[in-house]
Amino acid sequence: MVCIMPPAKPDWSAIDTILLDMDGTILDLAYDNWFWQEHIPEQVARARGVELPTIRDALQAQFDAAFGSLNWYCLDHWTRTLELDIATHKQASRHRVRPLDGALAAIEQARARGHAVWLVTNAHPLTLQIKLEQTGIAALFDALVSSHELDAPKEHAVFWERLQARLPHDPKRSLFVDDSLRVREAARRAGYPHVWAIARPDSRHPARPVDDGPAADRLADVLAG
């Protein structure tokens, strides 16, 4: 049996366009995990006068039901469902949004090599706006696409079809980087062979095991020249 090791870095001679996820790839997922796993349960428990463990269990069931759908990422959906102004809480906590170590410099280096770099995110447009304003990263990209604009999350095949219609490119000469296994699998099914994982999307936790393809702890390691 021959064991094929994943590549140590992408073959840049085979890449024209770089497609990057935002949360957990460029920006530290520590913020999102804190927001949804700690802050929002506390706010809902306080608003309803219910014990926090009870609310955590109820919210987890709702989150699980929406997982992989556009609603999972939709601030409007969760504002209605939780009867809580999610956007206001996002604005109030925006100071917690931070890039992952080395990510921004790595994107600048990739652009200096002549690669087109696109931001391709499932983030709701308001979430995207808040994070772009807080971090100033918009100028790093040749194009920015939220899955809400295409009415389909990256987990679904139709997203990739609509992305191709919106921004024509060659999937076979595109590098895609994302921390989500389901999204990476969808990208491969859509014809993207150069798909990399970020193994450490949350700086508070160690790297996660990745066995579906090439991976690196940081985006900076993927984009190194």
Backbone angles phi, psi at 117, to 5 degrees: -125, 125
Per-residue pLDDT averaged across 43-52, rounded?
Answer: 95
User: Whole-angstrom Cα distance, residue 122 to residue 24?
Assistant: 12
Per-residue pLDDT averaged across 122-135, rounded?
Answer: 98
CA distances to 74, 167, 194 from 142, in Å? 25, 11, 19
State the pTM of this model. Answer: 0.95
Residue 17 · residue 116 · CB < 8 Å:
yes
Q: Give residue 132's pLDDT band: very low, low, confident or very high (50, 70, 90).
A: very high
In this structure, the strands spanning 143-146 and 116-121 are parallel
Backbone angles phi, psi at 210, to 5 degrees: -130, 125
* Alpha helices (H) along the chain: 30-34, 40-48, 52-66, 75-82, 86-92, 103-112, 125-135, 157-166, 181-189, 219-223
Number of C-beta neighbours around residue 89 at 10 A: 16
Instruction: Note the pLDDT of residue 6.
Output: 54
Instruction: Match domain 12-28+98-223 to its CATH number in 3.40.50.1000, 3.40.50.10170, 3.40.50.300, 3.40.50.2300.
Output: 3.40.50.1000
Domain range list for the chain: 12-28+98-223, 31-95
Packed helices 157-166 and 181-189: angle between N→C axes, nearest 10 degrees: 60
Number of C-beta neighbours around residue 203 at 10 A: 13
Q: Give residue 8's pLDDT band: very low, low, confident or very high (50, 70, 90).
A: confident
In this structure, the strands spanning 143-146 and 215-216 are unpaired
Kindly report which listed range (2-6, 23-27, 126-130, 190-194) carries the lowest average pLDDT score: 2-6
Residue 218 · residue 102 · CB < 8 Å:
yes
Residue 198 · residue 24 · CB < 8 Å:
yes
Q: Give residue 7's pLDDT band: very low, low, confident or very high (50, 70, 90).
A: low
